[in-house]
A = this chain, B = another copy of it.
Amino acid sequence: MASLLYKYSFTTRLYDIDAAGVVFFARFLYFAHDAYETFLEHHKQSVKNILNSDFILPICHTEADFKTPVFINESITIEISLQDINETEFTLSYHFLDKAKKLRATALTKHVCVDKNMFSRKTLPHSIRSLLNSGS
Query: Contact residues of A with B, CB < 8 Å?
Result: 11, 13-22, 24-27, 29-30, 33-34, 37, 41, 46-48, 51, 56, 58-66, 69, 71-73, 109
Contacts and interface: CB of A to CB of B under 8 A. Distances in A.
Interface SS of A by simple majority:
mixed
Contacts of A72: 19, 47-48, 51
A37 B64 contact: no
Nearest to A40: B73
Contacts of A19: 14-17, 21, 47-48, 51, 72
Given A13-B37, A15-B18, A26-B15, A73 B47 contact: yes
A13 B21 CA distance: 13
A86 B134 CA distance: 44
Given A25-B59, A58-B20, A37 B14 contact: yes
